[in-house]
Amino acid sequence: MDSRNPDIIGAPLDRTDGRLKVTGGVRYASEINVPNLVYGVIVNSTISAGSVAGMDTKAAEGSPGVLVVFTPFNMPKLPKQSSMGAGATPAAKKLALLQEPDVNYFLQPIGVVVADTLERATHAASLIKVTYDEKKPLTDLVAHLHEAFSPGQIGGSDKKPADSSENAPTAALHSAPRRVEQIYQTPIENHNPLEPHATIASWDGDRLTVFDATQGIFTTRQRLAGLFGLHDENVRVICHYVGGGFGSKGPVWAHTMLAAMCAKEVKRPVKIALTRAQMFNNTGSRAHTHQSFGVGADDSGKITGIVHDVTNNTSTFDEFPEQATVATRMLYACDSIQTTQRLVRLNLGTPSYMRAPGEAPGTFALECAMDELARELKMDPVELRLKNYAETDPEKKVPFSSKGLRECYQRAAEKFGWDKYKASPDPRSIRDGKWLVGYGMATATYPTNRSQSSASACINADGTALVLAGTQDLGTGTWTVMAQVSAGTLGLPMNKVRFELGDSVLPKTPVSGGSQTAASTGSAVQAACGAVLQKLIAMAVADASSPLHNADPKDVTAANGRLSLAGDPSKGESYAAILTRAGVPRLEVKSESAPDKEEKKKFSMHAFGAQFCEVRVHEDSGEIRIARWVGAFDIGKRLNEKTANSQIKGGVVFGIGMALMEKTVADDRDARLVNPNLAEYHIPVNADVPEIDVIFVDTEDAHINPLGVKGVGEIGIVGVPAAIANAVYHATGVRVRELPLTPDKLLVGAA
């Protein structure tokens, strides 16, 4: 039986929530109307290391509208191990919940004022006088490299050893006739989603309901239940819309816990919404990476050894390795690869996952070094990559479940006109007046992740369907693609299917991170819809009054709300007719869907891509403009051509920001952040973004997951900074190995 409706799954449909969003109709977490609500405002430390000696809260407490002021000195103590909760989930962070007076980073929460309005709480918070015992903070990664230590392991749910080494790579590297050994660095960056983090928490006895801006309602539920020693069922987390997360809303952060703690004490619902500045240091950042990268090759360009040593900052109280070596371990065919990951403790907030954690900063080193090696060899950089094309995963030593990378290179190069580069590969060889023109490329890769997920599907007697899965839509199109998978699988038009998400009373799903929602929850939705349809078919063929009576279920097809015989479409009837006649108001199935462990052992599963760009660098000022972008991607099946395309475009834009301007700057004397706002922390504006041409190559992948999808949320950023840096080198002859590529770094080499 093939019930798929190919016209719906994959169709470039507009988002089902698009109209509501652009007309301001959706309600984000901080906008939910909860009766009797009061407002919590977090007080932040103004130092980076030491402890709070005292807090004079008298004026704040006496300020109009104030209900209570919490400090480390009066906040009720949490049960010891729940206060931090680290280890509870892969992404669990140790949090500052006013349990002790220690200060470990600038802007750390050291108090909460609860008042009847936001303005009154904000004002009262400004009246608190804090005294500190200050310590000298640890501020600079590079200055403390000698104190680096191993985290032992890296990775999220798929843990890997921090170090990997095979076949004496250092010796292989040093004996290679052609080699590149360089230091590359990427700075601290912040996600800066449009919607600031926010939580509304309210208690009803020992039941807690939370509206949260989160990438994982079930993670929030688990952390809150753990914090208060509640059963999961006693905590309900709701999140219908998210205004972007990019990883920053994956873990649960202090404000969510503090909102619930305050609500419990004041016995009223409490809202805490972070300001833009509070998001810096408190909701994770991409770590500063210091990457020593060496690659050696023989004269033909065959890579013989790779050594990649990465060190990143972590906080003084928690550990987060930025897994920048993961792509190096699997991207090119080489049997002598060594990678290490180290951490340095600084007085900054704990870093965290940010769009393509690992791959985004790691491929800046890897893909720039490949470009440098190609120049060393006087070889076309695309050819160098093809020369070292990995047919099997060098790390896992198993084949890829599918790999369309060769086609990505070929199609992107052709569309871009890479011949122009080949005709004039020398630096500074192409110009347009004062603008130096350069072309660059880089490879993209991102693993296909999948976790256990569940969904339920229900066909109603009126011929409509209701499909439910907890999950959350970060703004990526989850609402839409899940409805498409449902409609396509159920053989119903879109307008007969209602899909609901964003509530922890719905079937349990994993965090929307690691580009895994389509693979995990999409597969669960498909399974539930397929199963309920089978149930309906079974009913029909068993029903003596049905035209399909005694048909073989395999011969029954479903389309447009109707079952019919494959060979004879005139023989059939509508879903509504079957259920109505039987007096069954609704048929419902709940399904679990989990990754196939055997397939995972047998195959390495990855999405791939090739990024090509043209840049223009002003000879006098060093200003960089990205003139053109072409990227080709193997992301498996697309559930919606339009939203998939948008995800890639968004990823490229994110990468342009990473390449050209993003950097969170701390004062190197005291670790205070100088630019925690969108006036000084630059992200791309429209004028920085060219036309982005996205090509999808079609790969069949029978092993990866039932839907054949590889994930599209993160791969778009991977390789973008390297492609730009490589193009800038072509334009100017200046090799910048430290992001971002601001104009000052390009003044030196200009004539």
Partner 1 sequence: MHPFTYSRATDPAAVPGELAEHAHTKILGGGTNLLDLMKMGVERPQRLVDVTRLPLAKIEEIPAGGVRIGALARNSDVAESPLITKNYPVLSQALLAGASPQLRNAATTAGNLLQRTRCYYFYDPAFPACNKRIPGSGCGALEGQNRIHAILGASEACIATHPSDMCVAMAALDAVVQVRGPKGERSIPFKEFHRLPGEHPEHDTTLATDELIYAVDLPDAAWAKNSYYLKVRDRASYAFALVSVAAALAVDGGKIRTARVALGGVAHKPWRSEAAEEKLVGASADEATFKAAAEAALKHAKGYKYNAFKIELAKRSIVRALTQVSGGLQAA
Catalytic (active-site) positions: 714
Selected binder of partner 1 within 6, 35, 433, 583 (CB under 8 A): 433
Q: Which is nearer to partner 1, 64 or 76 (CB)?
A: 64
User: According to the binding rule CB under 8 A, does residue 56 interact with partner 1?
Assistant: no
What's the helix, strand, coil split of the chain in %, to 5?
30, 25, 45
In angstroms, the first-to-last Cα distance of the chain is 69
Of 117, 126, 167, 175, the one binding partner 1 by CB under 8 A: 126
Q: How far is the CB of 262 from partner 1 (least distance, A)?
A: 22
**Minimal distance, residue 667 CB to partner 1, in Å:** 5
Among the listed residues 527, 706, 556, the one whose alpha carbon sits nearest the alpha carbon of residue 1: 556
Instruction: Choose the binding region for partner 1 from 122-130, 150-158, 249-257, 559-567 (rule: CB under 8 A).
Output: 122-130
Question: Judged by CB under 8 A, how many residues of this single chain contact partner 1?
Answer: 35
Q: Does 428 bind partner 1 (CB under 8 A)?
A: no
Shortest distance, CB of residue 706 to partner 1, whole angstroms? Answer: 43
Q: Would you say the C-alpha torsion 363, 640, 634, 703 has a positive or negative sign? A: positive
Phi, psi (deg, nearest 5) at residue 457:
-135, 145
| Comparison of 392 and 742: residue with beta carbon closer to partner 1 | 742
**Residue 24 is a binding residue for partner 1 (CB under 8 A):** no
> For strand 289-297 and strand 178-186, is the pairing parallel, antiparallel, or unpaired?
antiparallel
Sheet strand arrangement including 497-500? 497-500, 465-468, 453-460, 586-593
Q: What is the DSSP letter of 196?
A: P
Task: Give the nearer residue to partner 1 in terms of CB position, either 602 or 669.
Answer: 669
Radius of gyration of the chain, Cα coordinates, nearest whole angstrom: 27
Q: Is 595 in the site for partner 1 (CB under 8 A)?
A: no
Binding mask 615-634 for partner 1 (x = CB under 8 A): -----xxxx-x---------
Q: Does 51 help bind partner 1 (rule: CB under 8 A)?
A: no
Nearer to partner 1, 245 or 684 (CB): 684
**From the CB of 65, what's the least distance to partner 1, in Å?**
12
- List, in order, residues 6 or more apart from 225 with CB less than 8 Å away: 231, 232, 234, 235
Whichever of 333 and 665 has its CB closer to partner 1, that residue is: 665
747 is a contact residue toward partner 1 (CB under 8 A): yes
Q: How far is the CB of 676 from partner 1 (least distance, A)?
A: 8
Does residue number 106 form part of the binding site for partner 1 (CB under 8 A)? yes
Residues 678-737 binding partner 1 (CB under 8 A) are: 679-680, 682, 684-688
- Tell me which of 119, 233, 552, 592 binds partner 1, using CB under 8 A: 119
Look at the block and give the residue holding tokens 């049997």: 335
What whole-number distance in Å separates Cα of residue 548 and Cα of residue 150? 65
Which stretch in 117-125, 234-242, 464-472, 494-502 sits in contact with partner 1 by CB under 8 A? 117-125
Quick one: angle between helices 720-732 and 641-660, nearest 10?
50
How near is the Cβ of 46 to partner 1 at its closest, in Å?
Answer: 4
Query: Between residues 120 and 387, which has the closer beta carbon with respect to partner 1?
Result: 120
Per-residue CA distances from 544 to 538, 540, 547, 558, 564 (Å): 12, 8, 8, 19, 15
With CB under 8 A as the contact rule, the residue among 607, 661, 712, 725 that binds partner 1 is 661
Q: Are 374 and 440 in contact (CB under 8 A)?
A: no
Tell me: does residue 665 bind partner 1 (CB under 8 A).
Answer: yes
Compare residues 103 and 518 and give the one whose CB is closer to partner 1.
103
What is the three-class DSSP state of 586? strand
CA distance 199 to 41: 12
Shortest CB 674 distance to partner 1, Å? 4
Question: Per residue in 636-666, is it b (16+ CB within 10 Å) or e — as a string?
Answer: bbbbbeebbbbbbbbbbbbbbbbbbbbbbeb
Q: Which residues pair with 498 in a beta bridge?
A: 466
Residue 672, interface with partner 1 (CB under 8 A)? yes
Q: How far is the CB of 143 from partner 1 (least distance, A)?
A: 15
Q: Are strands 303-314 and 289-297 parallel, antiparallel or unpaired?
A: antiparallel
CB of 662 to partner 1, least distance (A): 10
Residue 599 binds to partner 1 (criterion: CB under 8 A): no
Separation of alpha carbons 462 and 497, rounded Å: 11
- The interface with partner 1 within residues 135-164 (CB under 8 A) comprises none
194 three-state secondary structure? coil
Least separation, in Å, of the C-beta of 129 and partner 1? 13
Q: Encoding tokens for residue 705?
A: 């997951």
Single out the segment in contact with partner 1 by CB under 8 A; choices: 116-124, 139-147, 375-383, 636-644.
116-124
Candidates 299, 426, 598, 744; binder of partner 1 (CB under 8 A) is 744
Backbone angles phi, psi at 522, to 5 degrees: -60, -40
Q: Which stretch binds partner 1 (CB under 8 A): 309-317, 451-459, 543-551, 666-674?
A: 666-674
44/489 with CB nearer partner 1: 44
**Which one of residues 53, 142, 674, 702 is an interface residue with partner 1 (CB under 8 A)?**
674
CB closer to partner 1, 106 vs 228: 106
Contacts of 577 (CB under 8 A, 6+ apart): none
Peptide bond into 510 cis (omega under 30): no
Q: Answer whether 503's CB lies under 8 Å from 236's CB.
A: yes
Kindly list the residues in this chain that would bind partner 1 in the complex (CB under 8 A): 46, 106, 119, 122-123, 126, 433-434, 620-623, 625, 660-661, 665, 667-669, 672, 674-675, 679-680, 682, 684-688, 742-744, 747, 750
